[in-house]
Amino acid sequence: MTEQPSNRGSRRVSTSDDIEVGTYLEIAQADRTTGSKPPVDDRMQTVVIMDFGSQYSRLIARRIRELNTYCEILPHDAGSEILETQDVIGIILSGGPNSVYESGAPMAPSWVYEAGVPLLGICYGMQLIAHQLGGTVEPGTQREYGHAVIHKDGQDNVLFEGLDTEVPVWMSHGDRIEELPPGFRAMAYSENSPIAVMGDDKGTCFGIQFHPEVAHTPQGVEILRNFISGVCKGSGDWTPANFVSDAIDRIKERVGEGKVICALSGGVDSTVVAALIHKAIGDRLTCIFVDNGLMRKGEADRVQNVFASQLGVNLVFVDGTERFLRALKGVSDPEIKRKTIGQEFIEIFEEVAADIGEVDYLAQGTLYPDVIESVSADSNASHKIKTHHNVGGLPEHMNLKLVEPLRYLFKDEVRQAGIELGLSSQSVNRQPFPGPGLAIRIMGDVNYEKLEILRNVDWIVIDEIKADGLYEKLWQSFAVLTNTQTVGVMGDQRTYQYVVAIRAVTSADAMTADWARLPYETLGRISSRIVNEVAEVNRVVLDITSKPPGTIEWE
């Protein structure tokens, strides 16, 4: 075990690798000497989640945000910069797949223990605290996976305030703590974990063997709440009104007297970005909306109406339908379709930007999950541009700096921000729509006639889904023009027309999705309206594939 001098706290920290300790300390010291500290007012109360590779790290972040507390997920080997840029009130060490005693297992950097802020270790995080502060962790005789009940030891304990003596929890671990680190006591046990909860004498450092963030631990949110408000003394003021006013201040500070352009897609992210920036800098924002002719029925009019008429934003509207359709003529390969659409967009965007004149910034709707993804994919990457077809790959020579006011928010927080900004529920609760639009929902080549057929079909699908109150319960619901024609009969006439497929899915983040069990009545109405109202379609089928193995879009 290696002892490290500390100038922030009094904990004795061990890591499995001395070189790493040295590096952490160098980083921490460099931060202290070279970092320029922003004024304290700028800093948000923040809970830091150190990610040790748990599938649940994001869920921990979601739960904490739901407790109106700002949090950030950092890779497990992150430096201590966050201590300078934010008001860190607590640190959570996540779970992870490793065993702390394995060589090369990820350790928490020493600044985490030296920061002098409350600590909560979850599962692997708890074992790390035990291991790094001088206890012992060993393989358990039995893996504990699934439902368990923990029994409190009877003493008062701030983490479990308001909870019963027996608490149902979700466990997922193979190792267990055999010996507590000095200054710690056991606070609860389960059948397979004699030390299921531990805490130190000062009441600021805790470890819990179970997962409070998952729904299978029904009182888990209470435990997290107790940690944040009872131990970290968090004020719980990360509310929509506060994050909107905070974002507006940050935009003003970043942009100064500069000019910003923002590409609108019609989706919630770019809509909220534009509304926020408009509120912050007014007429120095110009939005660009390119109608690529691949939108849903009425969509281009709706965007124009919301931005130009309702919000009073400077809007450059470009009807690019002909250009896009010309470029797409005869293209049936989905990847080539995407590339063609992307290239055409960039060309138009550049032309419009040149007409607008001097511009300094490009606004983007990067969300927090995009930021986390880029960080976990490459722990050195602190900043990655969302590769949305609309704006990804804008030529470097345009030399635009980025403004990304949503990069701290989860999707539902973006929606709340939109409502706070006065946008209608229709604008903020829209289902996602892919950048390449209906082009990837038409199998084979795309032309104006097929687009019109699909627009009419899509309109009926959404109309019926909304009429039955299902729209906001579904991640997406839409129609696909299959490019297959079949025989039908209409009156006395034999018909030979298109088959369309209905695709409706539920999902939390589009990474996985389940096909939605739509009521037969809704499906029946959708089907009969389509074949009656859209003459070019004589058959409707339902896609009952989940993702994986299917994707949401057909392409």
Find the shortest distance in angstroms from Cβ 333 to ligand XMP.
15
Active-site residue, selected from the candidate residues 71, 76, 114, 123: 123
C-beta neighbour count of 322 within 10 angstroms: 10
- Structure tokens of 553? 């879009």
Q: Between residues 484 and 551, which has the closer beta carbon with respect to ligand XMP?
A: 551
Contact 267, 359 (CB under 8 A): no
Find the shortest distance in angstroms from Cβ 476 to ligand XMP.
6
Angle at 149 between CA 143 and CA 150, to 5 degrees: 95
Active-site residue, selected from the candidate residues 211, 278, 388, 389: 211
Find the shortest distance in angstroms from Cβ 511 to ligand XMP.
8
Q: Phi-psi bin for 100: left (phi > 0), alpha (psi -120 to 50), beta?
A: alpha
Give how many residues touch ligand XMP by CB under 6 A. 12
Find the shortest distance in angstroms from Cβ 274 to ligand XMP.
16
Find the shortest distance in angstroms from Cβ 4 to ligand XMP.
46
119-122/87-93 β-pairing: parallel
Q: Is 389 in the site for ligand XMP (CB under 6 A)?
A: yes
Is 213 an active-site residue?
yes
- Structure tokens of 306? 């919301």
Among residues 63, 74, 436, 503, which is the contact residue for ligand XMP, using CB under 6 A?
A: 436
Q: Between residues 146 and 549, which has the closer beta carbon with respect to ligand XMP?
A: 549
Q: Considering only 59-67, 369-377, 430-438, 453-461, which stretch makes contact with ligand XMP by CB under 6 A?
A: 430-438
Q: Where are the beta strands (DSSP E) in 20-118?
A: 45-51, 70-75, 87-93
Find the shortest distance in angstroms from Cβ 389 to ligand XMP.
5
Per the document, the length of the chain is 555
Find the shortest distance in angstroms from Cβ 404 to ligand XMP.
16
Say how far apart CA 112 and CA 88 lie, in whole Å. Answer: 11
Among residues 435, 462, 465, 516, which is the contact residue for ligand XMP, using CB under 6 A?
A: 435
Contact 205, 112 (CB under 8 A): no
Q: Between residues 175 and 370, which has the closer beta carbon with respect to ligand XMP?
A: 370
Is 72 an active-site residue?
no
Binding mask 448-487 for ligand XMP (x = CB under 6 A): ----------------------------x-----------
Among residues 63, 176, 279, 388, which is the contact residue for ligand XMP, using CB under 6 A?
A: 388
Q: Is 121 in the site for ligand XMP (CB under 6 A)?
A: no
Q: Is 221 in the site for ligand XMP (CB under 6 A)?
A: no
Say how far apart CA 52 and CA 62 lie, in whole Å. Answer: 17
| Nearest Cα to Cα of residue 480 among 416, 551, 415, 408 | 551
Q: Is 373 in the site for ligand XMP (CB under 6 A)?
A: no
C-beta neighbour count of 240 within 10 angstroms: 18
Q: Between residues 129 and 479, which has the closer beta carbon with respect to ligand XMP?
A: 479
Q: Between residues 402 and 510, which has the closer beta carbon with respect to ligand XMP?
A: 510
Q: Between residues 418 and 434, which has the closer beta carbon with respect to ligand XMP?
A: 434
Is 205 an active-site residue?
no
Contact 191, 202 (CB under 8 A): no
- Structure tokens of 64? 């904490």
Say how far apart CA 172 and CA 140 lie, in whole Å. Answer: 12
Binding mask 484-513 for ligand XMP (x = CB under 6 A): --------------------------x---
- Tell me which residues in 126-165 interact with ligand XMP (CB under 6 A): none
C-beta neighbour count of 358 within 10 angstroms: 7
Report CA-CA distances (Å) from 57 to 70, 373, 375. Answer: 15, 12, 13
Angle, helices 334-356 vs 321-328, to 10°: value is 150
Find the shortest distance in angstroms from Cβ 510 to ligand XMP.
4
Q: Considering only 278-286, 306-314, 358-366, 546-554, which stretch makes contact with ligand XMP by CB under 6 A?
A: 546-554
Contact 292, 341 (CB under 8 A): yes
Say how far apart CA 3 and CA 423 lie, in whole Å. Answer: 55
Among residues 162, 432, 519, 524, which is the contact residue for ligand XMP, using CB under 6 A?
A: 432
Say how far apart CA 293 and CA 456 lie, in whole Å. Answer: 14
Residue with tokens 């379609």: 537
Q: Between residues 43 and 547, which has the closer beta carbon with respect to ligand XMP?
A: 547
Among residues 27, 119, 434, 531, which is the contact residue for ligand XMP, using CB under 6 A?
A: 434
Start-to-end CA span in the chain (Å): 56
Q: Is 528 in the site for ligand XMP (CB under 6 A)?
A: no
Residue with tokens 């299902």: 470
| Residue 342 DSSP one-character state | H
Q: Is 266 in the site for ligand XMP (CB under 6 A)?
A: no
Q: Between residues 59 and 505, which has the closer beta carbon with respect to ligand XMP?
A: 505
Active-site residue, selected from the candidate residues 213, 344, 404, 464: 213
Full DSSP string of 197-217: EEEETTS-EEEESS-TTSTTS
Q: Is 553 in the site for ligand XMP (CB under 6 A)?
A: yes
Q: Between residues 367 and 403, which has the closer beta carbon with respect to ligand XMP?
A: 367
Q: Which residues bind ligand XMP (CB under 6 A)?
A: 388-389, 432, 434-436, 476, 510, 547, 551-553
Which residues have a catalytic role annotated? 123, 211, 213
